Amino acid sequence: MGNKVDYQKEPAQTPVKMERTRNRKVFVPKVDIIETGDAMMMYADMPGIDEKSVEVVLEKNILTITGTVEPQDCPGRSIAYSEYDFGDYERSFTISDEVDRERIVAVVKNGVLKLTLHKAPQAEVKKIAVRTE
Amino acid sequence: MFGPAIWRFGGRMDPLQEMQRLQREMNRVFSGLEQPLNPEVPPVNAWVGESDVVVTAELPGVNPEKVDVSVVGDTLTISGAREAAALKGGESYHRQERSHGRFTRSLQLPFHVEAGKVEAKYDKGILRVTLPRAEADKPKKVAVKCE
């Protein structure tokens, strides 16, 4: 029983779904978002990542967090029992204009990514003088 | 397992419901898992080698000092707690998806282990416990002599 060869082209979905070059599972990390007086704190559970393997990208209004995880296998042993799978992490959020783009702080500790999104100082109120003609 | 269902064919029968019940029953029989996984306990993976077993668990954001790993006979128990962020005045949750609270996980190992030589490491949110097989429990090789 060899692999079945399929010469038919695969129809695309509309809109075209994003695909990854690496054939690996991708998980959506669970997050907590807490609003404080002057910032938004975001905590994302991403076990297996460190500061080198996580990426935070802000493009226009979309904040994307991605984490790349190395396989957790043990050389010389074979998996006997498995309840969870490992894989990369990816999740995107739309953020509002009140976040200060220049002051986003990302810290990784114990497999948790902590993002601090400071709020932008309120646009100054501009008063327009009204004249009479 | 199929017994009571036969009688249901007599009176009112909902074919869809019957099919779903059958499917559930089949899944249960062939999955090998008697009980569904409890989502409240951390899932574990176990790797078995010739001389030891390695158990890993994903426990992100847990203080490693508060994780308790104990071995009794051939049972490994991992317990600990993850604290929820303490909200100060004026703070509020927009989203709360991460779980918190106490957790305990017990796992029966395939052999007895050397309790004194168990090592537990916590790195990047993953707990990795290495349990060497007890000397007394290792398989003995018997030489075959011929006369």
CATH number for position B106: 2.60.40.790
**B144 inside domain:** no
Q: Look at residue B101 and tell me if it is in a domain.
A: yes
Chain A: give the shortest CA distance to residue B60, in Å. 5
Please spell the DSSP secondary structure of B77-115, one letter per residue: EEEEEEPPPPP-TT-EEEEE-S--EEEEEEEE-SS-B-G
* Alpha carbons B18 and B12: distance in angstroms, whole number: 11
Residue A126's pLDDT band, with cuts at 50, 70 and 90, is: low
Q: How far is CA A52 from CA A69, A93, B119, in A?
A: 10, 21, 26
Place of tokens 């669970």: A30
Residue span of the structural domain in which B21 resides: 1-36
**Alpha carbons A88 and A27: distance in angstroms, whole number:** 6
**In terms of CA atoms, which chain B residue is nearest residue A50?**
B124
Backbone angles phi, psi at B87, to 5 degrees: -85, 130
Alpha-carbon distance values, B38 to A40, B34, B56, B81, B104 (Å): 32, 12, 17, 17, 11
CATH number for the segment(s) A26-72+84-119: 2.60.40.790
Same domain (yes/no): B18, B82? no
Question: pLDDT by residue (tens digit) across B2-17?
Answer: 444 444 444 556 777 7
> In terms of domains, do B71 and B25 share one?
no
Residues of chain B short of pLDDT 70, as ranges, are: 1-13, 28-40
Give the residue among B123, B37, B127, B35 at the shortest CA–CA distance from B80: B127
User: Is B145 part of a structural domain of the chain?
Assistant: no
Are B51 and B77 in a shared domain? yes
Across-strand partners of B125?
Answer: none
Q: Are A62 and A92 in contact (CB under 8 A)?
A: yes
Q: How far is CA B12 from CA A116, B18, B22, in A?
A: 60, 11, 17
Neighbouring C-alpha atoms within 13 Å toward the C-beta of B100:
14
Chain B residues near residue A80 by CB distance under 8 angstroms = 46-48, 53, 110
Q: Where are the domains of chain A?
A: 26-72+84-119
Residues of A in contact with B132 (CB under 8 A): none
Chain A within 8 Å of B86 (Cβ-Cβ)?
Answer: no
Taking contacts as CB-CB distances below 8 angstroms, the residues of chain B near A82 are 45-46
Residue closest to B125 by CA, chosen among A46, A47, A53: A47
| CB of B47 closer than 8 Å to CB of A79 | yes
Chain A closest-CA separation from residue B98 CA (Å): 6
Q: Which pLDDT belongs to residue B6?
A: 47
pLDDT tens digits, residue range A8-47?
777 777 766 677 777 788 889 999 999 888 888 999 999 9
**pLDDT tens digit string along A50-104?**
889 999 999 888 899 999 988 877 788 888 888 888 888 999 999 888 888 888 8
Domain co-membership, B32 together with B49 = no
A115 to chain B, closest Cα gap in Å:
14
Question: By the CB < 8 Å criterion, does A49 face chain B?
Answer: yes
Counts for chain A of helices (H) and strands (E), in that order: 0, 9
State how many domains chain B has. 2
User: Is the residue at B147 inside a domain?
Assistant: no
Q: Tell me the ipTM for this assembly.
A: 0.73
CB A41 within 8 Å of CB A34: yes
B103 and B64 within one domain: yes
From chain A, pick out residues whose CB is under 8 angstroms from the CB of B106: none
Give yes or no: residues B58 and B2 share one domain. Answer: no
CB B74 within 8 A of CB B112: yes
